[in-house]
Amino acid sequence: MVVPPLLDVVLRSVAVYIFIVLAIRIFGKKELAQLSVIDLVFILLISNAVQNAMVGSDTSLLGGVVAALALFLTNFIFKKILFRSNKISELIQGKAILLAYEGKLLPENLKLAEITEVEIDAAAREHGVESIREVKLAILEVDGNISIVSMDFGNKTSHQTNKTKHKLKGRVNSF
């Protein structure tokens, strides 16, 4: 079957998009604000590696615009699907993980999330909490943020909204 050249670009772009989303999910993800130099180089090399896979021999302006449009539309549709389906969202994005509760770390969940005690202590301090003993809840959110709620959260008139981001690897369990 002969596929029209621009449709070929669309199909290739969508296939690459889906592959990259799945690969990031399988091999781990980080938020852009927490990218290291190695992560940035990796992303640049991946984008260069898949460019030809998306546009094939069509290096024209129209081919590039069609590829970009296909990626935008795929991303839009993908986000709608994730919003409407909790099961698919959980499969792709994972679940939040409870890391500490009522002043006590949960070692199994820390191990599952690949977060050290040093990292959770740092996250607590970033939220203005001196010790894990003062943490009511520490949760690794699906977006990589560590949310901290202190024991005296209800007594404060204001609270910090600073969040710590951490790399997530593979599927994770929730609380």
Domain ranges of the chain: 5-92, 95-165
Domain 95-165 -> CATH class: alpha beta
Pairing state of beta strands 145-150 and 164-165? antiparallel
What gap in Å lies between CA 131 and CA 150, rounded to an integer? 10
What gap in Å lies between CA 67 and CA 7, rounded to an integer? 10
pLDDT in tens, 95-138: 889 999 999 999 999 998 888 899 899 989 999 998 899 999 99
pLDDT attached to residue 4: 87
pLDDT attached to residue 11: 92
pLDDT attached to residue 55: 84
What gap in Å lies between CA 65 and CA 63, rounded to an integer? 6
CA angle 1, 47, 89 (to 5 degrees): 80
What gap in Å lies between CA 85 and CA 119, rounded to an integer? 32
For residue 160, what are the contacts with CB-CB under 8 A and spacing of at least 6?
126, 127, 128
Pairing state of beta strands 145-150 and 135-140? antiparallel
pLDDT attached to residue 175: 47
CA angle 109, 30, 138 (to 5 degrees): 35
Which residues, given as ranges, of the chain have pLDDT below 70?
A: 28-36, 153-175
